[in-house]
Amino acid sequence: MTSPFAAFIQLNTSAVELGVESVEVIGLRWLQAVESLGGLAEEASLMVAEKAKALLDAQFLIALAILSGRAEEAPARAVALYRGRVQANRHRLSPA
């Protein structure tokens, strides 16, 4: 069993990693915008849709954690969800 302090440190580490990865995706989107204006409207629409879906999915994970009596796991589950989505975008936007 993980101690509360270790879980706190892991959550904070994951949150910082999420922040760094998000900045990288923002940079990749800026590079895409600078290199060509084609597809920017589609990327913007995709970005908004992804954010809405991620929010709904995070709410579902949090509710599920609470209803299953494991509310303490909700923050880590939400951060993991967002990290997965950001990493998928980084992979999609990265040059081949």
Each residue's pLDDT tens digit, 32-73: 877 776 677 888 888 999 999 999 999 999 999 999 999 999
pTM tops 0.85, yes or no: yes
The predicted structure's pLDDT at residue 44: 85
Q: How confident is the model at residue 1 (pLDDT cuts 50, 70, 90)?
A: low
The predicted structure's pLDDT at residue 30: 85
Who contacts 96 (Cβ-Cβ below 8 Å, separation ≥6)?
none
Mean model confidence pLDDT for the chain: 92
Angle (CA) 62 58 27, round 5°: 145
User: Residue 43: which of 54, 59, 31 has the closest Cα?
Assistant: 31
Looking up tokens 């302090």, which residue turns up? 5
Higher-pLDDT residue of 76, 39: 76
CB atoms within 10 A of CB 87: 15
Who contacts 43 (Cβ-Cβ below 8 Å, separation ≥6)?
29, 32
